[in-house]
Amino acid sequence: MSRVVVLCPGRGSYTEASLGSLDPDHDLVRAAERRRADFGLEPLLALDTSERFEPARHLRPAHVSPLIFVKAMIDATEAARGHEVVAVGGNSLGWYTALCLGGALGFKDAFRLVQRMSLLQEELAEGGQVLYPRMNEDWSPSAELAAAAAAALASSGGEALPAIDLGGYVVLAGSKKGGSHLLSTLPQVRIGSVTYPIRLAQHGPYHTHLARSVSDAASREFADLPFRRPEVTLIDGRGRRHSPWSTDVAALAAYTLGHQITAPYDFTASVRVAQREFAPDQVVLPGPGNPLGGIVGQVMASEGWSGAHTKEDFTALQARTTPFVLSLGLARG
């Protein structure tokens, strides 16, 4: 049985190609629909089985966050049956999935956390996020792009801030004014078929102090959330480990409802710790979609993992009979 690390996706993973991802007969889907009914919200299956993808509807935080959480949990739970899961982490929203998959929260409580956090974002967090590269198309670091991002932040008057360290990319967040500043200041650059900077649809200024109101509200509302020691080691957005033997449950809850919301999320550090400390046979990426495949590859190449130092090296590594990075959402985009 292979040893794997599971890394769960964030908000950008549910797209038009993800429609039809949920199995209506799956126990987790049925459990999630009961929780949605408690909130008086549209059924997830009504969203997932739509004839067409409607960004204003499907990407609304209150809808897309639980869609991603449930699909990622289904994929990750299935993967856990066929592998020895040695550690679990995630990007942003994926941290909540990791908490559930690792056993620090039960499904009902994790779903409540995901659903309410998305609603609190809609109610309290004004602003947005922008995605920008700091690498060239061949995955080599670009000092010019990194400098452009730093300059845009420095000239924002404190209205824009770093939010997520994402392999060869950076997510910058800001107030409405800060977001507009980033989009007008960052030089346009084309990587493959995509032109940056990209405003991330319906994303709030998570992972910055601009989300303090969300954190404060969550700390009050989830004071009773029954966190427990995980059954599998968790790797958080600082690259710190929470093991079944040493986790301070109060500190884990405080991180989840505090630092994780209001301070930058370093997914790059999470991947590096997973590689260096656990030396997995594979990294498993649950769906929907495959937003983390290239990002994990970029971190691997920067580390020289298994002799891969470039995009070309990583592509060759993936072409093996057993790829190192296994993306479970590839079949659906």
What is the pLDDT, as a whole number, of residue 46?
97
Are residues 33 and 43 in contact, defined by beta-carbon separation less than 8 angstroms?
A: yes
Of 132, 131, 137, nearest in space to 147 by CA? 132
User: Are 48 and 23 in contact, with CB atoms under 8 Å apart?
Assistant: no
Q: Which residues of the chain have pLDDT under 70?
A: 329-333
pLDDT of residue 332: 41
| The pLDDT of residue 330 | 57
In whole angstroms, give the CA distance from residue 168 to residue 189: 14
In the chain, beta strands by DSSP E = 3-8, 84-90, 128-133, 160-166, 169-174, 189-191, 194-196, 198-200, 233-235, 241-242, 265-266, 282-285, 325-327
Residue 100: per-residue pLDDT = 98
The Cα–Cα gap between 289 and 155 comes to 35
Show Cβ contacts of residue 266 under 8 Å, excluding neighbours closer than 6 positions.
164, 165, 237, 238, 239
273-295 per-position pLDDT tens digit: 999 999 999 999 998 988 899 99
- pTM of the predicted structure, to 2 decimals: 0.95
**87-97 residue pLDDT tens:** 999 999 999 99
DSSP codes of every residue in 256-278? HHTHHHHS-EEHHHHHHHHHHHH
Count of beta carbons in the 10 Å neighbourhood of residue 3: 14
CA dihedral 199, 204, 207, 211 (to 10 degrees): 150
> For position 170, what pLDDT does the model report?
98
